[in-house]
Amino acid sequence: MTAPAERRHWMSVLARASVPDIERHLAACPKLPGYVRLRGPETGLVMTRGQAGGGGAPFNLGEITVTRCTVRTADGHVGHAYVTGRDSGRAELAARVDAGLQDPSLHETLLREVIEKLAAAQQSARQETARRAAATRVQFFTMATMRSDDRAQT
């Protein structure tokens, strides 16, 4: 992965993770460096957009609450985070981990112990949701098949 794509990936994983999950995985890592807040955490609204049928004209779907935070470590690494909802602690922790991932001495450990494990858990949860949804899927082609069989018999 390129550096921007890799960072986009870990920021996405952190934005979806809960504080207890991040903290549980951080326990296996060296302590995150000291930091100062540059911005926030502050909460605001963001307009979300949608598309009818996934390919239609875009439209404003509605606003969601987002909390953002920016921190700078003692080494000068700047971490950012945007998370849905009003959890300022989650935004601050995600920004601290983002800053830590930019530190070469912490990068590999945080990537392996935090990001990869959180990403695997999130993927597993998505697959479970998809499996449960698939179990309720109605097979409409059955009706068409039954009608064509009825016509063939008459």
Q: Using one digit for the tens of pLDDT, what is the confidence trace for 16-31?
A: 999 999 999 999 888 9
- pLDDT tens digits, residue range 45-90? 999 988 887 778 889 989 999 999 999 999 999 999 999 999 999 9
Give the domain ranges of the chain: 3-153
**Closest-CA residue to 48 (of 65, 67, 31, 27):** 65
pLDDT at residue 147 greater than cutoff 90: no
The length of the chain is 154
Q: Model confidence at 148, in pLDDT bands (50, 70, 90)?
A: low
- Give pLDDT, residue 150: 57
- Give pLDDT, residue 149: 56
Q: Model confidence at 3, in pLDDT bands (50, 70, 90)?
A: confident
- Give pLDDT, residue 29: 87
Residue type present at position 61: L
List strands edge to edge, sheet with 78-84. 35-51, 58-73, 78-84
Percent share of the chain, pLDDT over 90: 59
Sequence-separated (6 or more) residues with CB below 8 Å from residue 40: 67, 68, 69, 70, 88, 91, 92
Tell me the torsion sign for CA atoms 9, 22, 129, 55. Answer: negative
- Give pLDDT, residue 39: 93
Q: What angle do CA 97, 126, 32 make, to 5 degrees?
A: 10
State the pTM of this model: 0.78
Report the DSSP beta bridge partners of residue 82: 68
d(CA 119, CA 9): 9
